[in-house]
Amino acid sequence: MSDKFKTVSLDTLLDKHIGKIGSAKRDQFENELRIDLLGQAIKNARQERNLTQEQLGELVGVQKAQISKIENSVKNARFETILKVFEALGAKVSFHVELA
């Protein structure tokens, strides 16, 4: 095997290409990653309940397109709508806020 490739940790790659923990760029990356995970969690919960995006939209009072946007990028969704989605899915929601 060639020595051209070496194994490095994910943290090392993130530090090098995104920024060190605590930097503005790294904080933004971490926040966006969490937001994407929220959208995926909504999609998984909807699918586990055998609901289409259209059916979930009807329960929440929004169009299918809005559910699709929430699942794919929560960044542009209203917080109130996200809470309604979780309520319609019967999901328990808890938030952890940490002040530094």
CATH number assigned to the domain comprising residue 56: 1.10.260.40
Indicate whether 22 belongs to any domain: yes
- At residue 8, the pLDDT reads 77
| Residue 38 to residue 28: CA distance in whole angstroms | 15
The pLDDT, as a whole number, for residue 91 is 83
Residue 20 falls within a domain, yes or no? yes
Both tokens of residue 11?
A: 């943290």
pLDDT of residue 18: 83
Residues in CB range of 70: below 8 A, 6 or more apart: 39, 42, 77, 81, 82, 85
Distances (CA, A) of 27 to 30, 37, 45, 80: 5, 15, 27, 24
Residue 45 belongs to what domain range? 10-88
Residue 76 falls within a domain, yes or no?
Answer: yes
C-beta separation of 52 from 71 below 8 A: no
Q: Strand, coil or helix: what is 36?
A: helix
- Kindly state whether residue 4 falls inside one of the protein's structural domains: no
The tally of domains found in the chain comes to: 1
pLDDT along the chain (100 residues), means of 10: 70 83 83 77 92 95 91 76 88 68
pTM of the model: 0.62
Does residue 98 lie in a domain region? no
Question: What local confidence, expressed as pLDDT, does residue 100 receive?
Answer: 60
